[in-house]
């Protein structure tokens, strides 16, 4: 099964790119973040026309997540249970006995902002949610835009980004706490020392200058690690006209 994640930074703008990418990538499951559309405007007819099942948790302006699949989705869950959060950042579903959790972690803006405090609270809530999910789902995939570059290798200029949002010590500790649940960064299973990025700022010709960060991840539970065939970053969509500032990450499993 081929499972991917992509922050599309407006599904309305990027829908043709998403449909084209699904066709050429032959992905079975695609988790989307930052839809920027409410549920009434989700493009159901377009995905139906291409034979996809889907579940979505939309929101105007910012946020919004969805799962698109070639296979039916079961046990769909919206948001983090018990967390009264007005922002739509999580959707979960079971596909072919694999539990998929699509997340769009808070950006945080700056380490001195209220949004950063919200981000750290949000990561704690995600930890508690995933801890319970793992108790009942041995085959779990948590994927999306985590807005955290876990290590210096995931940052084009670690010194410039030191203690900055996306790379700060508290955020990295929050990410490591998720891994402590028994989750594994699938990209690093396959690409131990590869320097690769998933996000490039629109400004300063960052993509052309290879000034990126790896902040989009696919985490898997340990029982799925032996099933990993490959995990790769597809930079081609970032070369389109009017691209998202993120690009897809693809995990290929034997199961």
Is 145 assigned a catalytic role? Answer: yes
d(CA 220, CA 99): 10
Alpha-carbon dihedral angle through residues 197, 10, 63, 212, given to the nearest 10 degrees: 20
Q: Measured between alpha carbons, how far is 127 from 179 in angstroms, rounded to an integer?
A: 9
* Candidates 145, 154, 185, 245; catalytic one: 145
- Catalytic residue chosen out of the listed positions 104, 197, 216, 245: 104
For the chain, what is the HEC assignment? CEEEEEECCCHHHHHHHHHHHHHHHCCCEEEEECCCCCHHHCCHHHHHHCCCEEEEECCCCCCCEEEEECCCCEEEEECCCCCCCCCCCEEEEEECCEEEEEEECCCCCCCCCHHHHHHHHHHHHHHHHHHHHHHHCCCEEEEEECCCCCCHHHECCHHHHCCCCCCCHHHHHHHHHHHCCCEEEHHHHHCCCCCCCCEECCHHHCCCCCCEECCEEEEEEHHHHHHEEEEEECCHHHHCCCCCCECCEEEEECC
Q: Which residues are catalytic?
A: 104, 145
């Amino acid at each position: 099964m081929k499972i991917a994640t992509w922050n599309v930074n407006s599904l309305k703008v990027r829908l043709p790119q998403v449909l084209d990418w699904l066709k050429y990538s032959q992905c079975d499951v695609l988790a989307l973040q930052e839809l920027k559309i409410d549920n009434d405007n989700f493009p159901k007819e377009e995905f139906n026309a291409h034979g996809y099942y889907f579940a979505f948790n939309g929101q105007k302006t910012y946020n919004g997540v969805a799962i698109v699949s070639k296979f039916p989705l079961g046990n769909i869950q919206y948001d983090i249970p018990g967390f009264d959060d007005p922002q739509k950042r999580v959707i979960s579903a079971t596909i072919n006995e694999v539990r998929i959790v699509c997340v769009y972690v808070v950006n945080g803006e700056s380490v001195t902002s209220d949004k950063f405090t919200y981000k750290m609270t949000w990561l704690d809530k995600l930890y508690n949610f995933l801890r319970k999910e793992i108790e009942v789902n041995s085959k779990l995939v948590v994927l999306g835009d985590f807005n955290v570059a876990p290590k210096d290798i995931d940052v084009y200029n670690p010194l410039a980004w030191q203690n900055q949002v996306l790379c700060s010590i508290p955020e990295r500790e929050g990410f490591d706490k998720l891994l402590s649940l028994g989750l594994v960064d699938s990209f690093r299973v396959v690409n131990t020392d590869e320097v690769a990025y998933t996000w490039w700022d629109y400004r300063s010709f960052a993509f052309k200058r290879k000034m990126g960060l790896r902040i989009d991840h696919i985490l898997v539970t340990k029982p799925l690690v032996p099933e990993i065939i490959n995990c790769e970053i597809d930079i081609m969509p970032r070369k389109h006209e009017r691209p998202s500032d993120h690009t897809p990450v693809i995990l290929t499993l034997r199961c």
